[in-house]
Amino acid sequence: MARFTGRSAIVTGAAQGIGAVYAKALAAEGAKVVVADLNAERGEQVAKEIVADGGTAVFHSVDVADPESAAALAAFTIAEFGVINHLVNNAAIYGGMKLDLLVTVPWDYYKKFMGVNLDGALNMTRAVWENMNANGGGSIVNQSSTAAWLYSSFYGLAKVGINGLTQQLAHELGGCKIRVNAIAPGPIDTEATQTVTPGDMVKDIVSRIPIKRMGTPDDLVGACLYLLSDEAAWVTGQILNVDGGQIIRS
């Protein structure tokens, strides 16, 4: 398939893990991809791998918590590819995340965490929406998590915020033909998850999932590409769980 031929896509947090898989999948379907991340070494490597596989990709550094950095990324994409058609807000502090309670987490760390994991999606959307609007619309996918429905301290709180942000932005931008949806993965077997979640806790989580295994980044690709594509032309403001049945919502 080539659902994204001639279109550009920004994927934040694309230097590794889920973001890298999203970037490669978009490129494989014809998108011109901006691999955006703070990790230049890994990000450039992902872009090189995409190009080596016959795709189109460039790397650009971004700190999504900084509105000026987000705006610079949007300007770079426009200069490079002429237009911004799609955005995946995947960047987050996760691997190596501090484990603490809401009532005790150091305030400076909490603000930094929320600046990336919640405000970052808004900063990036604010940076791209005018170009999308001027060019007939576009689509945005935010990365949520099943943590939004489970106790997960400030990580879960950030994902609750992402869900609300997704719905509010869908309402605000619908008239601009910009669709905004979110994917809420269950536990995904990535390097970052392995650094955060103890093995015995993973086993317990998996035992309670109807499809009894950890997810993989590849399990999320279909949902991401669908929500970005014209196949989802009348889908906006939705949070799509891809979680092996971990969360059943009525």
Residue 45: CB partners within 8 Å, gap ≥ 6? 15
Based on C-alpha coordinates, what's the Rg of the chain? Answer: 17
Q: Of the listed 22, 94, 110, 155, which one is catalytic?
A: 155
Q: Which helix (H) or strand (E) holds 147?
A: none
Catalytic residue flag (residue 110): no
Which residue type does 221 have? Answer: V
Residue 208 CA to residue 204 CA, distance in Å, equals 7
CB 148 within 8 A of CB 163: yes
* Alpha-helix residue ranges (DSSP H) falling in the chain: 17-28, 40-52, 67-81, 107-117, 119-134, 153-173, 191-196, 199-207, 217-228
Residue 237 CA to residue 163 CA, distance in Å, equals 9
Residue 133 CA to residue 129 CA, distance in Å, equals 6
Number of Cβ within a 10 Å radius of residue 157: 18
The DSSP 8-state label assigned to residue 96 in this structure reads: T
Would you name the residues annotated as active-site residues?
155
